[in-house]
Amino acid sequence: MNTIMLFLHVVGAVGMGIYAIMPFLAGQFRKVSGAAQEGLARGLITGGRIGQFSLVIQLLTGGYLISQLGPDYAVSWMITVLVIFIVIGALTGVVQGPIKRIAAAAKEGQDASSAIGRVRTLSVLILILFLAILWLMQDPWLA
């Protein structure tokens, strides 16, 4: 069972990789035309959903692995990781709204500059938090 959970945890980490490339994809919105903007927005919506599903997998499998496998992790480390995961989940939910507005504006031929700026800002924040999680997972605090 531990091997299966560890495998699912790694798969979840790969799924969360969308957050590593999202700022770079969001930067392409200003470079492409309306139809391409709509397609890019739809792709980011799908990628964001995959990332959110992967985040849930990470929380469930990570909780299991901490309780079953690992050494005694510091409570401060567990709280820090949990808070960052919750913030990532919140921001990924928040960023879906502006992405949907970009898709709708592109479909109607309208300007979506403010939504594009918001997506870029939020996706950079998500990337920073994702990198923080990777660092914390690589170097956990032990009690």
d(CA 26, CA 41): 9
Residue 43 in any domain: the answer is yes
**CATH classification of the domain holding 52:** 1.20.120
Q: What range does the domain containing 70 cover?
A: 2-138
Model confidence at 124, pLDDT cuts 50, 70, 90, reads very high
Four-residue CA torsion sign, 78, 79, 80, 85: positive
User: Which one is predicted more confidently, 10 or 1?
Assistant: 10
Domains held by the chain: number? 1
Residue 25 in any domain: the answer is yes
pLDDT at residue 7, as a whole number: 95
Q: What is the pLDDT of residues 74-106, one digit of tens each?
A: 889 999 999 999 999 999 999 999 999 999 999
66 alpha-carbon distance from chain centroid: 21
pTM: 0.90
Residue 128 in any domain: the answer is yes
Residue 143 in any domain: the answer is no
